[in-house]
Each structure stands twice: as structure tokens, then as C-alpha cells.
DNA sequence: GGTTGACCTCAACTTTGGTTCAGGTTAGAG
DNA sequence: CTCTAACCTGAACCAAAGTTGAGGTCAACC
């Protein structure tokens, strides 16, 4: 039950790009792309074909989950760079780097909740054109992070209250 | 106090693209872009310059808020298309279309919350490569919507457990 | 030992949401 | 009437996250 069976692709200790694609659900072209970006690495055979360590499957899964969370690839790459290079990452390593996403998620959930709670009344009431609206206030924490427009909604406002 | 003063740009009943940009905080180039996409409209002067109705300010504010919520421009445009064309939209009209975003937000907040709650233990424990993980399960509601990868994490999985 | 599917690289193309630039026109203040 | 800021169009460019295609090589089954 413990001995790998080399006839079965997922039991070999190295994976071809096709194996990795099948196992991870990620297209071969995307894996090439991740490799160009330095998110994953491979050794090459004498015939210049890629061979991935099984561990890479873990990395790819982490990449996909992180993308689900909304993290850009560059940030995911930066996180992966903090994993130890000299040994296989442990569960603890993965826990550490996923903790950052957890905090990020917390922040974004809070942000979206506020947005949701102000949305209907703000759009409905007309305050969108006003200075005080929670959705347009540049000093609101809402402004700080997350995807979407970086500049705030209203920059040059009424010189005097409407 | 109610009579518009035409010497003041924001009191005129039509806005130039520059006025609209200043008042909405959106770049002129972006307004042109929105117009090409059909999200806003203008009449043209004899000299081919754009003139916007004041109402357009409301539309632009709606567009920006919607983008903050994470809605793509195409969807925003579709929502705007449901506004009455023959009269100025009322507060009720705006409330109706913002309600859709509210529901969308609810769904995405719920999604992100689940993601958050499973994230650390899933990434930490190794189940990312397994079939049952909430984060990788194609039949999970998580799969249904939101930005990020459309295809699920794992398509071709182990033929047998663990 | 040949055939075929999987692999290789590099370049070009896709979408979204714009910005920037060049070259030319208009509007309104003085 | 003139000057200048603001406006116009169209094309090119940007970033992210890949996909697609052309042209060529590798490997493994029979």
C-alpha cells in the first residue's frame, strides 16, 4: 500500500507537464506560464522535457486556491518565495503562508460587507453625488485595498453642500 | 437658492466632459471610454463637443460604485440598460438596480467567508490534493460564481483515496 | 524502427479597463 | 479678433493571466 507503482503516472516520483496538468486541473500552457513567472520550477530531461517533483502539485494547488481568494500571481509568487528552498515545505510552512491570505480575506470581507450595507440606500438616496457618503469618502477604510478602481469616486466635489 | 447660476459650471444644466470628469473624479479618457461602451451618452454641440445631462453624473457615480463592488463594466452596462429611456430615473429605479448588486455581494461575501474558514486548515493539512476538500470540490457552491479561475482546482483526481 | 501523441520554443493574440500621444478643432475670455 | 485652454479622433500602448498556433523534437508502444 505504500510502495509506488511506476506504471501509474501519479505514483511516479516525477511528473511530466501533462501529468501535472491532469492532476491539478490546470492547462499545460498555464503551467508553462507559471514556470516562466518563477512560481514553479522543473528539472529537464536529456531531451529538454520538464519533470516536476510531486511537491509541485502542492504548489499549483496553492496557486489556484490563492487565485480563488483573489490574490494576484505576483503576490502568490512572493509568498511562495518565502518557502524554504532547501527542503520540502511542511504543513507548518503552508499554514504560515496561508495565514496571510486569511488576514487579507478578513479585510476584504469586512470591506465588502460595509459596501453592501451602504449600497442600496446610497445609490437610492442620491448621496452618491455628495461629499459625506460612506461609499465616496476618500478617508474611509474602504479606500485602502482590494481590487477595483484605485482612485476614489469623487475627487472634485461640490464647493458647498448640495 | 434654487435658481441655477450659469456662471458656475455645476449649476449649468449641461456638463462638458471636463465638468463631468471634475465632478465625478473620473478621467476624461475614461468617460470617453464609457461612452464608446454605451454606458453613458451625450449630445454633441455644433462644434462636435460632448454635452452631458446632469443626470449622467448619477450614472457615472453608479458605475464607479459598481466597479468597487467588483462588477465588470459589461454587467454594469446591462443593468443601466434596464433604466427607463424616456424619463429621468427615479430613486426607486436606482434602488431597484442596486438591489441586484446587493444580492451579488451577499453571495460573494458568503463565498469568501467559507473560503476563509477552510483556507488555513486545507492548505496546511495537505487535503488540497484530495477529492473531498471544500476548496477543491467542484460541486461546492464556491464553484459557481465570482472572479477568479472558472475551472476548478482539481479535475482529474486520484482514482483512489489519499 | 516507425508512427503517433506528448513535448519543446517563440511569437502573436485575447480580454478588461483604461491611458497616452499625435495631430487637428472649438469655445470663450479679453 | 485673437489666443489659449479645452475639446475632438484614432492609434498605440499598458498590465494581468493566460491561450493559440507554427514549426520542430522526443519517447514509448507495437
For the segment B16-70, what is each residue's pLDDT rounded down to a tens digit? 999 999 999 999 999 999 999 999 999 999 999 999 999 999 999 999 989 988 9
Distance CA(A31)–CA(A41), nearest Å, equals 10
d(CA B151, CA A61) in angstroms, rounded, equals 13
Same domain, B92 and B112: no
What was the pLDDT predicted at A124?
60
Residues 6 or more apart whose Cβ sits within 8 Å of residue A61:
A24, B128, B129, B136, B153, B154
Task: Count structural domains, chain B.
Answer: 2
Does residue A72 reach within 7 angstroms of strand D, measured from its CB? yes
Distance in angstroms: CA A9, C1' C17? 43
User: B94-129 pLDDT, tens per residue?
Assistant: 888 888 888 889 989 998 898 888 887 766 665 554
Task: Establish if A72 belongs to a structural domain.
Answer: yes
Do B118 and B72 lie in one domain? The reply is: no
Band (pLDDT 50/70/90 cuts) for residue A95 is confident
Within a domain: residue A162?
no
Same domain, B43 and B95: yes
**One domain, residues A83 and A127:** no
Q: For residues A123 and A146, give the distance between their C-alpha atoms in angstroms, rounded to a whole number.
A: 21
Q: Which among B43, B71, B100 is the end of a domain?
A: B100
Q: Domain span at residue B126?
A: 105-145
User: How many CB atoms are closer than 10 A to CB A87?
Assistant: 8
Residues A53 and A112 in one domain: no
Q: How far is B47 from chain A (nearest CA, A)?
A: 27
Q: In the block, which residue shows the cell 459598481?
A: B66
Which nucleotide shows the minimum CA-to-C1' distance to residue A63? D17
Burial of B148 (0-12, 13-18, 19+ CB in 10 A): middle
Write the residue in A65, A122, A125 that is nearest to B123 by C-beta. A65
Confidence (pLDDT) at B124: 61
Residue B73 CA to residue B64 CA, distance in Å, equals 10
Kindly report the nearest CA distance between residue B91 and chain A, in angstroms: 5
Instruction: List, in sequence order, the alpha helices (H) in A50-130.
Output: 55-69, 73-81, 91-125
Is the domain of B111 the same as that of B44? no
CA/C1' separation A64–C11 (Å): 27
> Which residues from chain A sit within 8 angstroms of residue B24, using beta carbons?
153-154
The answer to whether residues B124 and B139 belong to one domain is yes
- Quick one: B73 and B24 in the same domain? yes
Residue B55 to residue B59: CA distance in whole angstroms: 7
Confirm whether B159 is domain-assigned.
no
Amino acid at each position: 500500500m505504500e510502495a509506488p507503482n511506476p506504471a501509474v503516472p501519479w505514483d511516479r516520483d516525477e511528473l511530466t507537464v501533462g501529468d501535472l496538468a491532469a492532476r491539478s486541473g490546470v492547462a499545460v500552457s498555464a503551467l508553462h506560464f507559471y514556470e516562466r513567472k518563477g512560481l514553479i520550477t522543473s528539472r529537464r530531461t536529456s531531451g529538454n522535457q520538464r519533470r516536476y517533483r510531486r511537491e509541485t502539485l502542492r504548489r499549483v494547488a496553492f496557486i489556484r486556491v490563492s487565485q480563488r481568494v483573489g490574490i494576484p500571481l505576483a503576490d502568490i509568487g512572493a509568498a511562495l518565495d518565502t518557502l524554504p528552498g532547501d527542503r520540502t515545505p511542511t504543513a507548518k510552512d503552508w499554514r504560515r503562508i496561508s495565514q496571510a491570505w486569511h488576514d487579507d480575506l478578513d479585510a476584504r470581507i469586512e470591506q465588502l460587507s460595509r459596501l453592501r450595507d451602504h449600497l442600496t440606500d446610497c445609490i437610492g438616496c442620491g448621496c452618491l453625488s455628495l461629499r459625506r457618503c460612506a461609499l465616496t469618502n476618500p478617508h474611509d477604510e474602504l479606500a485602502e485595498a482590494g481590487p477595483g478602481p484605485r482612485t476614489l469616486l469623487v475627487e472634485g466635489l461640490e464647493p458647498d453642500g448640495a
